[in-house]
Amino acid sequence: MAIKPSEMPLQPDGRVFHLNLQPDEIADDIILVGDPSRVPIISAKFDSVEIKRQNREIFTHTGWYKNKRMSVLSTGMGVGNLDIIINELDALVNIDLQKRIPKQIHKSLRLIRLGTCGSLQPDITVNTCVASAYSVGLDGLLHYYEHDFTLSDNEIVTKFMTKTAWNSHLPRPYAIAASNILLKKIAFDMQKGITLTALGFYAPQCRSLRLPLGMPNFAEKLASVQSKGLFFTNMEMESSALYCLSKLSGHQALTICVVIANRPNKTFSKAYHTAMDKLISLVLDRLAEI
């Protein structure tokens, strides 16, 4: 049965609605960044750029780097944006947009998010790169999709909820693993850990300006906690959506973040752009070899 226009809106020329892209305008290897201004910084390192598209905060550049076709795409901030991005990327490669029906042959994308985060560990200093072996979603997005309940790692979730005395009025957390292939190929020599994905920057990440916190210091309770041999290392706003939707849709996903704030030490990086530039070059080189 064809997918109705209300469920999968398209642009008048047949492009997916939010990304403003046609299927042939993305590569199988896609770097995701939150900040639209980071897209041209990355594509400037390409040997050539063949496609440049933009709609709202979503910028997409597709080109070639060391004989491999790659795309870089900006997502904006938060799990809500990632819900749109991953669904529409999947639609581009796994749905016949003219007939509005899923394709019989599935294509798997490699999706690598390069972002920034706050460290939860005092010894993970600013400008360190952290690869998310797991992401714990505090946003509830996974629960809106039908899924096998073994998808979420119950050991990690149980330990997190117990140690933080998780408020039962909040969404139940879920824990999703990164692509083991990408973790080994791209981040084999990087700091690895469990990343918390929050649905906001301030109170959801234990920051208070004028408004008091409903769950103060829950992240601090995780400093010495381990699960799967990993510490809870950092906190950001997108990885859980990337990981859960990629797993549900059959894509490979990995997040690597530059630490720009050390929460226990109350420090903030003065030069994270330099660390990010080095990370971008490293990931491009390693992705080109896969």
287 burial via Cβ count (<10 Å: 0-12, 13-18, 19+): buried
Report angle CA 3, 7, 9 to the nearest 5 degrees: 95
Residues contacting residue 138 through CB under 8 Å, at least 6 positions apart: 170, 171, 173, 196, 197, 198, 199, 204, 240
Show the beta-strand stretches assigned E in 13-153.
Answer: 29-33, 48-55, 58-65, 68-74, 95-96, 101-102, 110-119, 129-137
Residue 236 binned pLDDT confidence (cut-offs 50, 70, 90): very high
155-168 pLDDT per residue, tens: 999 999 999 999 99
Q: Tell me if 197 sits within 8 A of 237, measured CB to CB.
A: yes
CA 140 from chain centre, in angstroms, equals: 15
Question: Distance (Å, rounded) from C-alpha 269 to C-alpha 258?
Answer: 10
26-83 pLDDT per residue, tens: 999 999 999 999 999 999 999 999 999 999 999 999 999 999 999 999 999 999 999 9
Phi first, then psi: what are they for 192, rounded to 5°? Answer: -120, 150
Question: What is the three-class DSSP state of 236?
Answer: strand
Domain ranges, ordered by start, for the chain: 23-288
Question: Distance (Å, rounded) from C-alpha 114 to C-alpha 101?
Answer: 32
Residue 223 binned pLDDT confidence (cut-offs 50, 70, 90): confident
Tokens of 100: 């509005």
Question: Distance (Å, rounded) from C-alpha 49 to C-alpha 32?
Answer: 16
Number of residues assigned to the chain: 290
Question: Distance (Å, rounded) from C-alpha 207 to C-alpha 216?
Answer: 9
89-108 pLDDT per residue, tens: 999 999 999 999 999 999 99
Question: Distance (Å, rounded) from C-alpha 75 to C-alpha 88?
Answer: 12
Supply the DSSP symbol for 173: P
Q: Among residues 15, 204, 189, which one has the least CA distance to residue 95?
A: 15
Q: Tell me if 71 sits within 8 A of 30, measured CB to CB.
A: yes
So what's the architecture of 23-288 in CATH? 3-Layer(aba) Sandwich (3.40)
- 237 has pLDDT over 90: yes
Question: Distance (Å, rounded) from C-alpha 280 to C-alpha 256?
Answer: 10
Question: Distance (Å, rounded) from C-alpha 17 to C-alpha 270?
Answer: 38
239-267 pLDDT per residue, tens: 999 999 999 999 999 999 999 999 999 99
Average model confidence (pLDDT) across the chain: 96
Residue 1 binned pLDDT confidence (cut-offs 50, 70, 90): confident
200 burial via Cβ count (<10 Å: 0-12, 13-18, 19+): middle
Supply the DSSP symbol for 16: B
